[in-house]
Amino acid sequence: PGVRAVLDGRDLQAAGLGFIMPLAVFNGIDGQPMRVAGIPALAIGRVRYVGDPIALVVADTLEIAVTAAEQVMVDLEPLDGVTSPEAALAPGAPTLHAEHGSNLMLEWEDGDVQLSRDAFARAHHVEQVELREPPLTASAMEPRAAIASWDASSGRYTLVASTQGVMVVRKQLAESFLKVPLEQLRVRTPQVGGGFGAKVQTYPEYAALLHAAKVTGRPVRWTATRLECFLSDTHARNSVLKARMAFDRDGRILGLDADVLFGVGGYTSTYIAIIGTNNVKNCLSSVYRIPSIHIRSRLAFTNSMPHGPYRGAGRPEAIYMIERLLDAASKRLGIDRVELRRRNLIPASAMPYRAANGQVYDSGEFAAVMDKALALSDWQGFEQRRLAAAKQGKLRGIGMCCFLEVAGGILEEPAQLQFNADRTVELRIGAQAIGQGHQATLPKLVAQRLGIDESQVRLVSGDSDKVPGLVATVASRSMMMGGSASALACDEAIARGKAIAAQLMEASAHDIVFEQGRFTVAGTDRSIHLLDIPSQTGSAKAWPEGVPTTLDNTSRFVSSGMSFPNGCHVCEVEIDPETGVTRVVRHTAVDDVGVILNPAVVEGQVLGGVAQGLGQVFGEALHYDEGGQLL
């Protein structure tokens, strides 16, 4: 009693439903097509990782649903599994997807192979590292949650979910799973909670809920438990990073060669193909002159939760390799680590600088950033602090890292402005707030541009029926792309407003001046406020052809290239050799992020990034046993 439906993968298959297909698909070496494995809403015939959804029980209450789920009998035959990318590509490894004949999802490379060989052939010294990153997951305090409903009269689905991109989720679910026009699915995200990349993914639970809502004719809701967060939020990292760096006699870099291997989990998630390829490659020059860069990437299916973005998504791996190579080379070459970095920094005078990986840096003062970090951290005074710690029986160490992020992702973004009769302006934008303070920055930008009060600007996001664009909140692009699109929409509104004001005040558009929210006929006291225009355009249909009838517009910003936030961090730690307890005693962060609209928000973002980085350093990881059980 109280159970409304019990569904498995065969039910969904019989209903003609498909799989959740990735959005990033491209060819690898020699044009070899990527091996794609779409994500089923419920497993069909084979479970590929612990946490792979098998069945969905829908009931009137959570208690009834849990009790009924415990009574579901699942006939499982144990299979050998692989949870590391190395094991997945080992000879004789069990294959996750028999139709592919291999666990290799993609093999990809970039860079001039011969140029790289030449650089290493003439090197005075070659340094190399091999680094391993365990799998991680964000496991935000606010777990994933969703409510699905279906309107029988219109045949329209609605999904309310904590996602980082309503348009992306709508596209994947409508086109590849439901197989319906985009207009038949509305996706809303009132609040996301913590995201960190993990809530970019279109999850199987969302798909299964939509079908369950149609089958039962009732709204269906689900919230992940904490255990489910660890099992079924996208995992990340899980990589083996091998890299070589060639140096001349003076310690100047001649070339960099990287060979990286990433686990991708049991299926191909939304953007996983980009993370271990382009995202790594794009950052491989960092802040240094590196004349030759070559990278080979291999992405392998593993018996674990599908992988996805997590705080950097491939970019930290690039910096990790470079900085570890420089530290190791410093010892071998006998050159101070600060000096070795300084010799190889790209000078500000070289801007715009075309890096060997194809990126064109428009600006950057990398030496100044590094010097500021060294000064603020009192790098020169470290030896005294080390000796003082030693007298107390403690070990003290200090490390530094220079970095550069290639930000922007897909370099096109629209923004929409709607002017209302109640003297408010709605800014509709696809970028979804996940803690970056959109409410404190985007309305402020629009208000300043239009010369109105910030309280008169309403931010509208997280609703596929109302916002433009098709890109999720990823790639550090919200302000760069969304903010720029918002500014363009403001400029378009002002241009339209001049033409409309000229018509209303019977003047030439060339004589209209816009200042502090008002359109004024130059040299007169005749004016009209921007926010009063919507209520005074009732006779607009009778206006001359070519004169706009509304301030409302959708403007699209297309960037000519990426942006390159960069910085230098210095971390000082103290270790108790008897207990192994390690304490961060100082952490200095200098970040050059460009124009800052809200300092408090930016500071919070930097502090959060440092905290998550320290979490990984101090052992944050997901561990699987040999049988693929998450420990």
To which residue do tokens 């809403």 refer? Answer: 41
Q: In what order do the strands lie in the sheet with 518-521?
A: 512-515, 518-521, 527-529
Residue 558: partners with Cβ closer than 8 Å, 6 or more residues away: 411, 412
pLDDT per residue over 222-233, tens digit each?
999 999 999 999
pLDDT per residue over 81-93, tens digit each?
999 999 999 999 9
**CATH level 2 (architecture), domain 3-79+139-232:** 2-Layer Sandwich (3.30)
Rounded average pLDDT over 565-573: 98
CA distance 486 to 284: 32
CA contacts within 13 A on the Cβ side of 401: 21
| Helices vs strands, H then E, count in the chain | 16, 23
Q: Which helix (H) or strand (E) holds 580?
A: none
pLDDT per residue over 175-224, tens digit each?
999 999 999 999 999 988 888 888 999 999 999 999 999 999 999 999 99
Query: For residue 331, which amino acid is it?
Result: K
pLDDT at 541 over 70: no
DSSP 53-103: --EEEEESSHHHHHHHHHT------------SHHHHTSTTPPPS-GGGSSS
CA distance 621 to 619: 6
pLDDT at 434 over 80: no
* Cα separations in angstroms, 317 against 236, 361, 394: 11, 20, 31
E strand map for 103-214: 104-110, 125-137, 145-151, 156-161, 185-188
pLDDT per residue over 366-396, tens digit each?
999 999 999 999 999 999 999 999 999 999 9
Can you say whether the dihedral through the CA atoms of 76, 82, 88, 90 is positive or negative? negative
Q: Do domains 3-79+139-232 and 235-406+564-617 have the same CATH topology?
A: yes
Residue 270: partners with Cβ closer than 8 Å, 6 or more residues away: 22, 23, 24, 168, 172, 200, 201, 202, 308
Name the token pair of 368: 């100044």
Task: Quickly name the fold that domain 235-406+564-617 has.
Answer: Aldehyde Oxidoreductase; domain 4 (3.30.365)
pLDDT at 470 over 90: no
Can you say whether the dihedral through the CA atoms of 73, 74, 78, 80 is positive or negative? negative
Q: What is the pLDDT of residue 627?
A: 81
Name the token pair of 576: 């108790």
CA distance 494 to 59: 54
Closest CA to 239 of 194, 186, 298: 298
Name the token pair of 419: 């002017």
**CA 567 and chain centroid, separation:** 19
Residue 624: partners with Cβ closer than 8 Å, 6 or more residues away: 83, 135, 304, 630, 631
Is the Cβ–Cβ distance between 496 and 438 less than 8 Å? no
Rounded average pLDDT over 50-59: 96
pLDDT at 59 over 90: yes
Query: For residue 539, which amino acid is it?
Result: S
Q: How confident is the model at residue 431 (pLDDT cuts 50, 70, 90)?
A: confident
Residue 317: partners with Cβ closer than 8 Å, 6 or more residues away: 133, 237, 239, 241, 260, 280
CA distance 450 to 517: 6
Name the token pair of 594: 């460009």
Rounded average pLDDT over 486-500: 96
Q: How confident is the model at residue 439 (pLDDT cuts 50, 70, 90)?
A: confident
DSSP state of 516: T
CA distance 305 to 265: 5
* Cα separations in angstroms, 599 against 134, 247, 326, 441, 604: 33, 40, 32, 10, 9
Q: How confident is the model at residue 354 (pLDDT cuts 50, 70, 90)?
A: very high
**Rg (alpha carbons) of the chain, rounded to whole number:** 28
DSSP state of 380: G
Question: Exposed (0-12), middle (13-18) or buried (19+): which is 522, by Cβ within 10 Å?
Answer: exposed
Average pLDDT, the chain: 94
Closest CA to 463 of 170, 238, 88: 170
CA distance 275 to 133: 14
Is the Cβ–Cβ distance between 566 and 283 less than 8 Å? no
pLDDT at 56 over 80: yes
Is the Cβ–Cβ distance between 267 and 194 less than 8 Å? no
Q: How confident is the model at residue 540 (pLDDT cuts 50, 70, 90)?
A: low
DSSP state of 354: E
The residue extents of the domains of the chain are 3-79+139-232, 235-406+564-617, 412-558
To which residue do tokens 């060339």 refer? Answer: 510
pLDDT per residue over 399-421, tens digit each?
999 999 998 877 788 999 999 99
Rounded average pLDDT over 348-370: 97
Name the token pair of 571: 């971390």
CA distance 600 to 305: 35
Q: Which helix (H) or strand (E) holds 371?
A: helix 366-376
Q: What is the pLDDT of residue 444?
A: 92
Q: What is the pLDDT of residue 147?
A: 98
Backbone angles phi, psi at 69, to 5 degrees: -65, -35
CA distance 588 to 373: 6
* Cα separations in angstroms, 325 against 127, 280, 316, 340, 400: 6, 16, 14, 11, 13
Closest CA to 457 of 479, 424, 433: 424
How far is the first Cα of the chain from the last one, in angstroms, to the nearest whole number?
36
**CATH level 2 (architecture), domain 412-558:** 2-Layer Sandwich (3.30)
